Amino acid sequence: MYDFGPRILKLRKERGLSQKDLAQKIGISNSSLGNYENDLGVPPLNVAEDLADAFNVSLDYLVSGDKAKTITVKGLTNDQVQLITELAQELVMPTSHGAKMSTKQQELLARIIENFVR
């Protein structure tokens, strides 16, 4: 978990939280949080998830610093997640239409808009 501790520290300070405040918010001790921030320990997955939630970042970002790898899907239905996944997969596929969207991409986008506007 390269830079995991410094990333937690940076996010905590950016949000104006003390160690005590953040530790209480996610239900761990101040010393545990201090150990994580100083790379003296690695939190269990449930604590790492709580940290990501507290900072409103993906677990992927918390661990690797790469925000672009994941989309937060809390509150979305399984159908909505499936539609977004299909569209993302389609959008990375090259088309024979140059910069224009393929018919499949247009259909998926229309379904997503229809699904979210309900």
Which contiguous run of DSSP H or E holds residue 60?
Answer: helix 59-64
Short-list 44, 46, 30, 39, CA closest to 8: 39
Neighbours of 69 (CB within 10 A): 12
Dist. CA 11–CA 24, nearest whole Å: 16
Residue 1 has pLDDT above 80, yes or no: no
pLDDT in tens, 42-85: 898 899 999 988 988 888 788 877 654 445 556 777 787 777 77
E strand intervals along the chain: none
Could you give the domains of the chain? 4-69 (1.10.260.40), 78-117 (no CATH)
Q: Model-level pTM?
A: 0.56
Please answer whether residues 37 and 5 qualify as being in contact, where contact means their C-beta atoms are separated by less than 8 angstroms: yes
3-state percent breakdown (helix, strand, coil) of the chain, nearest 5: 65, 0, 35
Please answer whether residues 52 and 24 qualify as being in contact, where contact means their C-beta atoms are separated by less than 8 angstroms: no
Mean pLDDT over the full length of the chain? 79
Lowest mean pLDDT among 5-14, 60-69, 79-88, 99-108: 60-69
